[in-house]
Amino acid sequence: EGAKVRAGVHRIPKDLLPGVDYVAGDLGDSEYIDNLVAGASTVFHVGAAMKGSPADFQRGTVVGTRNVIDACLKHGVRRVVYVSSLSVLEHAVPRTGKITETWPLEPHADLRGAYTQTKLEAERMVLAAAQDKGLPACVIRPGVIFGPGVEPSSPAGSFAMFGRWIVVGNGSLPLPLVYVDDIVDALLLGSSQPG
C-alpha cells in the first residue's frame, strides 16, 4: 500500500524485503524501542521470546512489551496491534465451536510454561494500558500460521516429525490453522479501527 515500514528485528535477515528499513536490537532495551517507535503512526507488536531461560522470556516478552507500551504512549502512536497467542486461553476447556473474546484466560499459566506465562502477562499489560492510560490498542490471537515464508511450528495437540505434523489422539482434534495472508488482513484490519 506504499506505507513506509520500519521493522525491529533481533538480527537483520538474509533476504531483505524491498522498502523495509530493518533495525536490529533487543526488545528488552528501552532506548532501542523508543528510537524504533519514534515517528511511527502504527505499531504492530509481534515480538516475544520463543526459547531460552525464564529470564529470557521475561525480558523478551514482558519487559519488551512494557517498553513498547511506554514508547507508544510517549510518542502518541495512533494505533497499536498486539499479537498475542491462543496459548493464553484456558487449556482445560474443550475447544469446540468458535473461540471468541469471551473465552476464559488460562488460570494456571504457571503450569503451562514460560511462553504462556509471559504472553498472558504481556497481553494483560496491553489491555490495562488501553483501559487505564488510553493506549489505542487491540489484541489479536492468531492460531498456527502457515504458508509461504512462515517458519513451521507444530500446533498444540501435535508434534513435528520428518517434516509432518503428527496429531495426538484419534485425529478429530481441530487444529487452529490460519493462512499467512489472512493474518496480514487481520493485522491491517486491527490497525484501521478507531482507538
Residue 139's nearest CA partner among 155, 151, 148, 128 is 128
How far is the C-alpha of 75 from the C-alpha of 192, rounded, in Å? 18
| Termini Cα distance of the chain | 21
Give the ranges where the chain is alpha helix by DSSP (H): 30-37, 54-57, 64-75, 114-133, 180-192
Active site residue 115: yes
Give every CB contact of residue 104 below 8 A, 6+ residues apart in sequence: 89, 90, 93
Active-site annotation holder among 22, 32, 82, 115: 115
Give every CB contact of residue 39 below 8 A, 6+ residues apart in sequence: 75
Task: Give the catalytic positions in this structure.
Answer: 115
